[in-house]
Structure 1
């Protein structure tokens, strides 16, 4: 990966990450997740933080 991303490449990568969020939510809903629930919850929190920060830095860009 290039050390310098253009805005469109960054938007595409963040959009791809956003599209994977439902998989984490589905995993979190598994009753037999056990102690991994902590890790999945943390991953969701960090993902949500990343998306919120991206939207605040680049409000003009649509992730959809």
Structure 2
């Protein structure tokens, strides 16, 4: 898998991050809030790791 494929897949995941944030803001989320928060943390970690691995890559 080359860097361009990884970049494209990460861009797709980043586009879904806002949906997770909006979901986390729902007051009636209950225990699902833990899973949504975990997904956000893992996505942020993935983005950070990508940026460290490919510091010159554009993600916007």
Give the TM interval when normalised to the shorter protein. over 0.9
Q: In structure 2, how many angstroms separate the alpha carbons of the residues matched to 1:18 and 1:55?
A: 13
Structure 2: runs of 5+ lacking an equivalent? none
Alpha-carbon RMSD across the aligned residues, in angstroms, is 0.6
> Per residue, is there more helix in 1 or in 2?
2
Q: How many residues are matched?
A: 60
TM-score (norm 2): 0.96
Under a length normalisation based on structure 1, what TM-score does the superposition of the two structures give? 0.90
Say which one has the larger Rg. Answer: 1
Q: Which runs of 4+ in 1 moved over 2 A?
A: none
